[in-house]
């Protein structure tokens, strides 16, 4: 079946793709970081991109190469290899992220974006579906930006000059998000546990904050917010099950780490509000990274 797909024309591959997708679905385990979840999302995304671009053959060629490499992984696992090679994981993740990073994601791409977020990658939500529409959007945005910069007031943050209206909008929305993140971290620190839905909600709030900060040009704030979002997703997926068996409850997390990171975000926001370039927040990023890289205690 695989040789038929690799050697045959694209027009005759639809049925084979469907059967291979069914195989990948059977291979997927419950762990969000199971390689076959990433593999399935990537090949589906490549074929969806091909359809949006009129059957572009380069996307199909990438998908075929991935299927061939996945077959080699299966052969290795038949000989007791437990993990996919890191190089293959990185290459697969890069192919999934590539076009989303360039052209953004649409609402129907939500499942793919969730996979990317679990690996620490974020994308912008966009209406552009093709390189041509992306180019047209960027041209219009650049023109609108030039017109706005000529007339609008600006604000200086150290060496960074930003649009004053966008800056005020960011401060108002960021304050609400950071208050919620601090509250979530404090609750987790006091109780020692947090439910999965709450952790995912905190992760999404962090990612939204990161995207807004990045759009404004506050790179240090965006980096810390995205790292905090990934840490909360890690808690949601790999927290230790609560002892009384309460569904969705997790404990055993070092909640002081996300709590302190949220406090650092608040401090950085106050610096920005005072017209000072925010600090790097390196200590919080290092602590969050150690938390993220800690081996999972169990797999759902």
pLDDT at residue 247, rounded to an integer = 47
pLDDT at residue 128, rounded to an integer = 53
pLDDT of 50-72, one tens digit each? 888 776 778 888 888 888 888 88
**0.95 surpassed by pTM:** no
Residues in the chain, total: 300
Q: Distance (Å, rounded) from C-alpha 82 to C-alpha 151?
A: 60
Residue 141 has pLDDT above 70, yes or no: no
pLDDT at residue 4, rounded to an integer = 58
Instruction: Map out the domains of the chain as residue ranges.
Output: 2-118, 154-293
pLDDT of 87-99, one tens digit each? 999 999 999 999 8
Residue 175 has pLDDT above 90, yes or no: no
pLDDT at residue 227, rounded to an integer = 93
Instruction: Take residue 58 and report the two structure tokens written for it.
Output: 């380069």
pLDDT at residue 298, rounded to an integer = 42
- What are the angstrom distances between the C-alpha of 210 and each of 87, 129, 201, 259, 290? 28, 23, 14, 17, 20
Q: Are 210 and 226 in contact (CB under 8 A)?
A: yes
Residue 195 has pLDDT above 90, yes or no: no
pLDDT at residue 278, rounded to an integer = 80
- DSSP per position, the chain: -HHHHHHS-GGG-HHHHHHHHHHHHHH--SSTT-HHHHHHHHHHHHHHHHHHTTS-HHHHHHHHHHHHHHHHHHHHHTTT--S--HHHHHHHHHHHHHHHHHH-B-GGGHHHHHHHHHTT----B-S--SHHHHHHHHHHHHHHHHHHHHHS-EEEETTEEEEHHHHHHHHHHHHHHHHHHHHHHHHHHHHSEEEHHHHHHHHHHHHHHHHHHHHHT-HHHHHHHHHHHHHHHHHHHHPEEPTT--TTEEE---THHHHHHHHHHHHHHHHHHTT-PPP--HHHHHHHHHHHHSPPS---
Q: Does 61 or 147 have the greater pLDDT score?
A: 61
Contact partners, residue 156, CB within 8 Å, separation at least 6: 275
Q: The domain 154-293: what is its CATH number? A: 1.20.120.160
User: What is the residue whose two structure tokens read 């609008």?
Assistant: 152
Q: For the ranges 8-22, 90-104, 245-259, which has the lowest average pLDDT?
A: 245-259
Q: For the ranges 79-93, 116-130, 208-222, which has the lowest average pLDDT?
A: 116-130
pLDDT of 177-188, one tens digit each? 888 888 877 777
Contact partners, residue 118, CB within 8 Å, separation at least 6: 32, 33, 230, 233, 237
Instruction: Take residue 118 and report the two structure tokens written for it.
Output: 């679990």
């Amino acid at each position: 079946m695989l040789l038929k797909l690799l050697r045959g024309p694209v027009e005759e591959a639809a049925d084979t793709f469907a059967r291979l997708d069914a195989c990948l679905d059977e291979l997927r385990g419950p762990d969000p970081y199971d390689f076959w979840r990433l593999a399935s999302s990537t090949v589906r995304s490549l074929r969806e991109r091909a359809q949006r671009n009129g059957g572009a053959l380069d996307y199909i060629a990438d998908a075929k190469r991935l299927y061939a490499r996945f077959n080699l992984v299966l052969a290795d696992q038949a000989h007791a290899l437990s993990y996919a090679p890191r190089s293959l994981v990185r290459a697969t993740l890069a192919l999934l992220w590539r076009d989303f990073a360039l052209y953004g994601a649409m609402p129907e791409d939500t499942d793919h974006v969730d996979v990317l977020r679990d690996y620490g990658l974020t994308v912008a939500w966009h209406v552009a579906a093709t390189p041509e529409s992306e180019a047209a959007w960027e041209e219009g945005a650049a023109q609108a930006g030039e017109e706005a910069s000529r007339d609008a007031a600006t604000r200086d943050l150290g060496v960074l000059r930003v649009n004053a209206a966008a800056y005020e909008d960011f401060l108002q929305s960021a304050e609400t998000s950071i208050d919620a993140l601090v509250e979530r971290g404090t609750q987790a620190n006091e109780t020692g546990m947090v439910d999965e839905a709450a952790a995912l909600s905190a992760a999404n709030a962090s990612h939204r904050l990161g995207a807004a900060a990045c759009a404004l040009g506050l790179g240090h704030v965006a980096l810390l917010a995205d790292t905090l979002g990934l840490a909360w997703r890690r808690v949601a997926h790999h927290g230790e099950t609560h002892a009384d068996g309460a569904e969705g409850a997790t404990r055993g997390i070092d909640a002081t780490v996300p709590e302190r990171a949220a406090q650092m975000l608040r401090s950085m926001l106050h610096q920005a509000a005072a017209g000072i370039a925010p600090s790097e927040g390196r200590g919080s990023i290092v602590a969050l990274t150690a938390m993220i890289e800690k081996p999972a205690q169990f797999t759902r």
